[in-house]
Amino acid sequence: MDFEPTEERRLLAETLARFLAAEYSIEHRNSVAYSEPFHDPVKWRALADLGVLHALAAPADGGMGGAGFDIATVFETLGAALCPEPFLGALLSVRLLAAAGCDLAPLLSGQIRYAAAVGETDAPYDPAEIGCEAHRGRNGWVLHGRKSVVYGGASAERLVIAARADGGALALWEVAASDARISGYGMIDGGNAAEVFLDGTPAAMILPEAGAALQDALDHGALALCAEAVGAMDTAQAMLLDYLQTRRQFGRPIGSFQALQHRMVDLTIEIEQARSITILAAGNMGTDRQTRTVSMAKNLVGRMAKLVAEELIQMHGGIAMTWEYPASHFAKRLVMIDHQLGDTDFHLHRVMAEHMRPGNGPSSG
Amino acid sequence: MDLTYSPEERAFQVEVRTFLAEQLPADLSEKVRTGAELTKSDHDRWHAALNAKGWLATTWPRGFGGPGWTPVQRHIFEEECCRAFAPRIVPFGLHMLGPVLIEFGTPDQQQAYLPRILSGADWWCQGYSEPGAGSDLASLKTRAVRDGDSYVVNGQKTWTTLGQYANRIFCLVRTSAEGKPQQGISFLLVDLDTPGIEMRPIRLIEGGCEVNEVFFTDVRVPVTNLVGAENQGWTIAKFLLTHERTNIAGLGFSIQAFEQLRSFARRRRANGKRLVDDPLFAARLSEIEIDLEAMKITNLRMLAEARKTGAPGPESSMLKIKGTQIRQVLNDLARRALGPAAVPFPSEVLGGNAALVPPDQAMNAARYFNNRKLSIFGGSNEIQRNILAKAKLGL
Ligand SMILES: Cc1cc2nc3c(=O)[nH]c(=O)nc-3n(C[C@H](O)[C@H](O)[C@H](O)COP(=O)(O)OP(=O)(O)OC[C@H]3O[C@@H](n4cnc5c(N)ncnc54)[C@H](O)[C@@H]3O)c2cc1C
């Protein structure tokens, strides 16, 4: 057992944290996160130059990382600084393009922005329910249907799309964003997403049997979100602790009230639990326990991120309800992470499924 | 024990429903249903319709223009208004200052202000909190110094809800630095057009601007605007807070939110089934339904108790805590119910064919975040627990 990060990952986290501290003050973060294009294209390129995108892909695919702990390191650092850049869409695209054997160089260098269009209005989380279809047209494949809440979709130049080939097997397609009808919008916690309307949109098939690749990409995305939440929870906790020590009412710091002290201690314990389950999930990536441990992590983190967000606001009092005070933006991100790639209930169902399988023996793991 | 409404109460319920069906403008109820922001003229229109019927000042005695309802009638009225998606009654004049003037005001003050609250000529806002005085309200620093026939007011109020629509503010001000902080506070009525007052909006977490900061620089207020005696304002402040709390419990809103959630969960399809058919979601929905059913009875029991003793007591703190917890859980479930479709920023919500959810669901996340305020204002839920521990349990 060794819980120390490798030297490379420690350096990556430090470099990235330093960059984010210098380049994404909360004022700058909010100004880019909440107005078009809902991120900072110049700084996105700078982040790519730092190697942040390369850290998401395995060496065999042209990257310099790609393991669970690489992804967790990057996203935890992004989360601690509340970075609004569309890394989630990039990570999903990296996994899908790599599975399809595509060239990742334009994505990893930051030259071309990709987003992955998987979820649909009736199939928000479960790829098995995907209804978008591809059919052979006169000049090759064309796509029909609607993809919903595509993260980073408003600022992407290319899309990786999951759809059924001739209504059958799930396959992956690559599409130029300019060939689809895209309605982008800002998100309540910053950053952008888009509705993607496919109406005879020309598409290149990149992977004919994509069920396993999709699950793998979604697992990695969920792991990234857990790590992002852990980073954001750490910052939130530090912010709240500082406020409890400095805000005075009734002639003393509010942190001297036991009613708040105990809750602050509970939060601290729960954040450690969230960190632990995320470490467990990161360590199980690539094993046959990957999907189930990721679901465990996403469930626990979803519950705790909401708790931390609500207590962050409540224990601050009115000030954390304001736009001007950074805690409000951390609270929004922490709550809304549960709406991405499967919420607490969705992932709890997947954890439950193993217990509820008919004929489960007493010692089944 | 009899849990059913009497024939008179049932008849009253029908009367309220008929009134709402006939008099509640459709555009207003649509705005409330979809969580759109109500303008001042929206509120004014609804207040005028209620006032014409004599149903506006539901907490006032008959002699002052109230309808003279029993607590059960008020409960029925509030519940029916919420079911019909009527705009809430803006509480500052009607539920806060009105009862204060009736209890503590001079006949001159009552005649000068109460009719103007009813007619909508005055819109009041509440100037209690300050940056340094939130839970510890008695530590407030805004000073009023006597100078001839006036007080000269200097200081800052904050969190002033809907101050942007108001022409008047009732303030707690410090008129003495002697003795305990509570003993030097006075209750003052201030015309917001007086020179020296500046109001600035505060943007909230979800992006809206319903609260303000108010700055007072050498603002001259006639001494006749003092309510009660000088340095006796704390008693008034507490009286008002008790009324405010009961109002925040917002049982009607919870009933409304539950109905909306249940009907949406029956229509919503996700991951191959209806949302209500997801056992985890159904369990959450059922648990809050149970809490809500209990809350309705708790509320009625406490109203009956208050009628016996004359005024809401520490029980109002119980209603505030439980009522806001239930509202916040309902807001939480409504946000969860949308899944990824909850994410658009309120002003970025897509309409028409591109809409992600029906219009009455589109503000669910914004409402969830905005309503975190419910457990903070009107005395935070921690402060309510302190009150109950002391006043009710004697701890
Ligand atoms: C949206 C909104 C609208 C509002 N509208 C109005 C308005 O119209 N007019 C007006 O006058 N005010 C208004 N308020 C102000 C509101 O009443 C205060 O926010 C509230 O009293 C809490 O004060 P505070 O925000 O300064 O928090 P603080 O008092 O600083 O409290 C911070 C935290 O410490 C806790 N705490 C404090 N003391 C204790 C204790 N002794 N024991 C345990 N815990 C404690 C609190 O519960 C809270 O969790 C509004 C507030 C909000 C957020």
In a domain, A100, yes or no: yes
How far apart, in whole angstroms, are the C-alpha atoms of residue B278 and residue A125?
A: 14
What's B392's DSSP letter? I
Are residues A327 and A221 part of one domain?
yes
Residues 6+ apart with CB under 8 A from B10: none
Cβ–Cβ < 8 Å for A186, B345: yes
Contact A185 B339 (CB under 8 A): no
Least confident of A68-72, B289-293, B316-320: B316-320
Are residues A272 and A154 part of one domain?
no
Provide the token pair at B210: 């319903």
Q: H or E segment at A337? A: none
A62: domain CATH number? 1.10.540.10
Q: For A317, which of B271, B336, B376 is closest by C-beta distance?
A: B376
The minimum CA-CA distance between B392 and chain A, rounded to whole Å, is: 18
Looking at residue B310, its pLDDT comes to 67
Are residues A332 and A299 part of one domain?
yes
Is B245's pLDDT higher than 80? no
Q: Quote the ipTM score.
A: 0.96
How far apart, in whole angstroms, are the C-alpha atoms of residue A120 and residue A127?
A: 9
How far apart, in whole angstroms, are the C-alpha atoms of residue B278 and residue A193?
A: 27
Cis ω for the linkage preceding A37 (within 30 of 0): yes
Which residues are registered as beta bridge partners of B185? B174
CA of A250 to the centre of ligand 1 (A): 13
Domain B123-231 identical in fold to domain B250-391: no
In a domain, A362, yes or no: no
In a domain, A363, yes or no: no
Minimal CA–CA distance to A94: which of A65, A126, A123, A130?
A65
Residues for chain A: how many in total? 365
Cβ–Cβ < 8 Å for B186, B175: yes
Q: H or E segment at B200? A: strand B197-202
- Domain membership of residue A303 as a residue range: 212-355
The percent of residues in chain B predicted with pLDDT above 90, rounded, is 83
Are residues A239 and A182 part of one domain?
no
Looking at residue B309, its pLDDT comes to 73
Amino acid present at A131: G
Placement of tokens 């009654």 in the chain = B89
The minimum CA-CA distance between B355 and chain A, rounded to whole Å, is: 9
Are residues A322 and A351 part of one domain?
yes
Q: For A188, which of B136, B332, B343 is closest by C-beta distance?
A: B343
Minimal CA–CA distance to B29: which of B78, B82, B71, B70?
B82
Minimal CA–CA distance to B281: which of B333, B329, B327?
B333
Cβ–Cβ < 8 Å for A96, A57: no
- A 204-243 residues inside an 8 A Cβ radius of B: none
Looking at residue A360, its pLDDT comes to 73
Contact A324 B269 (CB under 8 A): no
How far apart, in whole angstroms, are the C-alpha atoms of residue A32 and residue B333?
A: 30
Are residues A346 and A225 part of one domain?
yes
Burial of A340 (0-12, 13-18, 19+ CB in 10 A): buried
A42 touches chain B (CB under 8 A): no
pTM given for the model: 0.97
Q: Which fold has domain B123-231?
A: Butyryl-CoA Dehydrogenase, subunit A; domain 2 (2.40.110)
Of A155, A181, A209, which marks where a domain is finished? Answer: A209
CA of A262 to the centre of ligand 1 (A): 19
Are residues A291 and A169 part of one domain?
no
**What is the atom index within ligand 1 of the atom nearest the CA of B379?**
21
pLDDT one-digit tens code per residue, B7-21: 999 999 999 999 999
Are residues A234 and A138 part of one domain?
no
- Chain A residue at shortest CA distance from B374: A314
Of A112, A135, A152, which marks where a domain is finished? Answer: A112
What are the φ/ψ torsions at residue B274 (nearest 5 degrees)? -70, 150
What's B388's DSSP letter? I
Amino acid present at B248: I
Provide the token pair at A219: 């697992």
Active-site positions of B?
A: 244
Is B303's pLDDT higher than 90? no
Q: H or E segment at B127? A: strand B124-127
Are residues A187 and A247 part of one domain?
no
Are residues A126 and A27 part of one domain?
no
Looking at residue A363, its pLDDT comes to 57
Helices (H), chain A: 7-23, 26-33, 41-49, 68-80, 87-99, 105-108, 211-246, 258-283, 290-316, 327-336, 344-356
Residues 6+ apart with CB under 8 A from B25: B45, B46, B49
Looking at residue B363, its pLDDT comes to 95
Provide the token pair at A304: 């705790």
CATH code for the domain defined by B250-391: 1.20.140.10
Give the best residue of A188, A264, A307, A339 to mutate against chain B (max B CB count within 10 A).
Answer: A188
Can you list the residues of chain A whose pLDDT is less than 50? Answer: 364-365
Are residues A62 and A128 part of one domain?
no
pLDDT one-digit tens code per residue, A99-143: 999 999 999 999 999 999 999 999 999 999 999 999 998 889 999
pLDDT one-digit tens code per residue, B190-224: 999 999 999 999 999 999 999 999 999 999 999 99
Question: Does residue A146 have its Cβ closer than 6 Å to ligand 1?
Answer: no
| DSSP line for B273-332 | EEGGGSHHHHHHHHHHHHHHHHHHHHHHHHHHHHHHHSS--THHHHHHHHHHHHHHHHHH
Q: Which residue has the higher pLDDT, B242 or B54?
A: B54
3-state SS class at B379:
coil
Please count the structural domains in chain A. 3
In a domain, A99, yes or no: yes
**What is the atom index within ligand 1 of the atom nearest the CA of A319?**
25
Question: Does residue B320 have its Cβ closer than 6 Å to ligand 1?
Answer: no
Question: What sign results for the dihedral spanned by CA atoms A316, B390, B133, A245?
Answer: negative
Q: H or E segment at B243? A: helix B233-249
B273 touches chain A (CB under 8 A): no
A69 touches chain B (CB under 8 A): no
How far apart, in whole angstroms, are the C-alpha atoms of residue B71 and residue B381?
A: 24
How far apart, in whole angstroms, are the C-alpha atoms of residue B340 and residue B268?
A: 13
How far apart, in whole angstroms, are the C-alpha atoms of residue A196 and residue A258?
A: 51
In a domain, A360, yes or no: no
Residues 6+ apart with CB under 8 A from A123: A129, A130, A131, B270, B271, B272
Contact B278 A345 (CB under 8 A): yes
Q: H or E segment at B267? A: helix B251-267
CA of B215 to the centre of ligand 1 (A): 19
A347: domain CATH number? 1.20.140.10
- Chain B residue at shortest CA distance from A352: B280
Of A91, A112, A133, which marks where a domain is finished? Answer: A112
How far apart, in whole angstroms, are the C-alpha atoms of residue B201 and residue B199?
A: 7
Are residues A11 and A108 part of one domain?
yes
- For residue B348, how far is the Cα from the chain centroid? 28
Q: What is the rounded average pLDDT for all residues in chain B? A: 94
pLDDT one-digit tens code per residue, A26-62: 999 999 999 999 999 999 999 999 999 999 999 999 9
In a domain, A364, yes or no: no
The minimum CA-CA distance between A336 and chain B, rounded to whole Å, is: 7
Minimal CA–CA distance to A186: which of A149, A148, A229, A147?
A149
CA of B248 to the centre of ligand 1 (A): 14
B128 touches chain A (CB under 8 A): no
The domain spans of chain B are: 7-89, 123-231, 250-391
In a domain, A287, yes or no: yes
Question: Does residue B8 have its Cβ closer than 6 Å to ligand 1?
Answer: no
Looking at residue A361, its pLDDT comes to 66
Looking at residue B141, its pLDDT comes to 97
